Homo-oligomer: A and B are copies of this chain.
Amino acid sequence: MNFEKYMTRRVKPLKASGIREMFKLMAAPAVISLAGGSPDPELFPTEFLSEIAAEILKNDGKKALAYGTTDGYAPLKEELKKRTEAISSFDKEDKIIITTGAQQAIDLVARTVVEDCDDVVVEAPSFVGTLNSLRSVRANLIGVSMENDGMNMEELEGVLKNNKVKLIYTIPNFQNPAGITMSLAKRQRLLELAKKYDCLILEDNPYGDLRFAGEAVPTVKSLDKEGRVIYVGSLSKILSPGLRIGYLVCRSELCDKIEIVKQVNDVHTPCLTQMMAAEFLKRYDVSAHIKKACEVYGEKCRFMLECMEKYFPKSVSWTKTEGGLFILVSCPDSIDAAALSVEAIKKYKVAFVPCNNFATDMSAKTSSFRLNYSTMPKEKIEEGIKAIGMLLKEKLNKQ
């Protein structure tokens, strides 16, 4: 049978995330992965979660195993509401929904507000999971280039003037893949422009807790008095990505509709993982846990930067991140980062992600790539950076 003819226009052009495909290669133990976006597994509170899971199932097993409500387990909603208030803001007209990872939150928003050929602004480059989700609802993606303090606002206004943009997607803190944080002035400008051109903003903040340098900047949501911002958070980077706990906060009128779409999508997020997350937020020393994670990532980031200074050719530059998990490396135009990444895996078993994966046009050639410093131990980071440096020098010397 030929299944192609049954497939919708929505899914026909969809390709698997290059990173998820790389994930399969990375499963080989010898691979040095600077490609992922995972927190350091050494930081998982496995012992605590082991005890908590047993306790929940023993004392409250019927609740943990029965159907739950679509909007999420009430005590977890309460804890995440408090967290949102602490990190960002929670308006009295806001509601919260627990999702199966932040990816589902983003996907639900895409399904709810974006349809065929709607113009959507994304940072260029941006997170592949969101780009693919938006592609799957046939959005017209418009990239706005990134500067060291976030989106280029003149370029953004030009785009908004010349198109009917419905949604602007941004990761203001330690952006994926650029590692860049949007300045306060630009956050304010972003909101002004969204108001002027009547767009919604999707603020994705998975890395916000992981600041190891510089000063915190208020979230876009906390600057928003109208309800224009849909805020997405995640426990993937501070607790565990495998538990798949994300959430979204927005005005109830919109949130109620998103809840119906979630009902259609998976009825509800598993109860047990939600109950575990609630106990983690209630009973674990979360501040100390995050502080520890920031120390570890700060140290690993500094070490990776030192290695890059040491091993990378001088014509290569990179972004300065103050938190999160990523550094973006820019090479001279002659470098084809996609080809380089294939060679790095084959020759040295070193994995990283070329930036075509983060582009609105994935077929365009790119000379940039993303490095992750959170998952590997130091000796592997050095080995990996050294190998990439050798490859780069080889390529650049040949010319």
- Chain A residues with CB under 8 Å of chain B are 1, 3-4, 6-11, 14-17, 20, 23-24, 36, 38, 41, 44, 46-47, 49-51, 53-54, 57-58, 61-70, 99-101, 103-104, 107, 111-115, 129, 132-133, 135-137, 166-167, 200, 226-228, 240-244, 251, 253-254, 257, 259-261, 263-273
Contact = CB atoms under 8 A, between A and B. Distances in A.
A23 B112 contact: no
Given A11-B112, A68-B242, A242-B67, A266 B104 contact: yes
A198 to B, nearest CB: 9
A253 to B, nearest CB: 5
Contacts of A240: 65-66
Nearest to A108: B265
B242 A1 contact: no
Nearest to A268: B244
29 contacts: A1-B226, A1-B228, A4-B253, A6-B254, A8-B115, A11-B111, A11-B257, A11-B260, A14-B257, A14-B261, A16-B263, A17-B263, A20-B263, A20-B267, A24-B69, A38-B66, A46-B58, A50-B53, A53-B272, A65-B243, A66-B240, A136-B264, A242-B270, A242-B272, A243-B271, A244-B267, A244-B270, A272-B273, A273-B273
A158 B49 CA distance: 57
Contact of A65 (B49, B62, B100): B49
Given A67-B241, A257-B14, A62 B38 contact: no
A273 to B, nearest CB: 5
Contact of A54 (B10, B53, B268): B53
A107 B69 CA distance: 18
How many monomers of this protein are in the complex?
A: 2
Nearest to A10: B115
A265 B99 CA distance: 11
A341 B112 CA distance: 31
A46 B65 contact: yes
A65 to B, nearest CB: 4
